[in-house]
Amino acid sequence: MPHRAHTVLDSPLGPLTLMAVDGALSGLYLEYRRHPPAEEALGEPDPAPFTEAADQLAAYFDGTLTEFDLPLAPGGTPFQRTVWAALQRIPYGETVTYGELAARIGRPTAARAVGLANGRNPISIVVPCHRVIGSSGGLTGYGGGLDRKRQLLDFESRVTHGRQRLDN
């Protein structure tokens, strides 16, 4: 039987609930999320499996980490896992539309299904579902709320532009 654990970390976005299965990050949930984890999926409270995730999240929120390197175990259907893997290839500070993401996974007519899979992403921030926007360029659905999506996108944009000025 897999070992499940969870912990709660403070962040600039409010409390983050992290979940692990056998030491791999299986969930990262913002407070008041649209699709919260089932209570029985949380496992025991134990911060030990989350040391590296906590360090990387702190570096992300400090603006010094732009790509996470953590073992992940998101679960989901094969299609969802394909979408979530594609999310991880969206560069820091950039956005794509649901249609562009559908095309990237070889399913150009599946923008709606991609949107549904994106909304079920269990590992917010680390698997950057906030980087997907509507076809008109506007912000659309985000399980953690549109205000948080805007916060994350604005934050990544500021970090990215700050680095460009330092490099020039």
pLDDT at 36: 72
Task: Answer whether residue 145 is part of any domain.
Answer: yes
Catalytic one of 5, 129, 132, 159:
129
| Average pLDDT along the chain | 89
Query: Is 72 within a domain?
Result: no
Q: For residue 129, indicate whether it is catalytic.
A: yes
In-domain check, residue 37: yes
Entry pTM:
0.89
Q: How far apart are CA 27 and CA 53, in angstroms?
A: 11
The answer as to whether 73 is a domain residue is no
The domain that holds 156 is classified in CATH as 1.10.10.10
- Same domain? For 83 and 161 the reply is yes
Q: Which of 67-91 are b and which e, b meaning 16 or more Cβ less than 10 Å from the residue's Cβ?
A: ebebebbbeeeeebebbbebbeebe
Parent domain of 45: 4-62
Q: Please tell me the predicted confidence (pLDDT) of residue 168.
A: 30
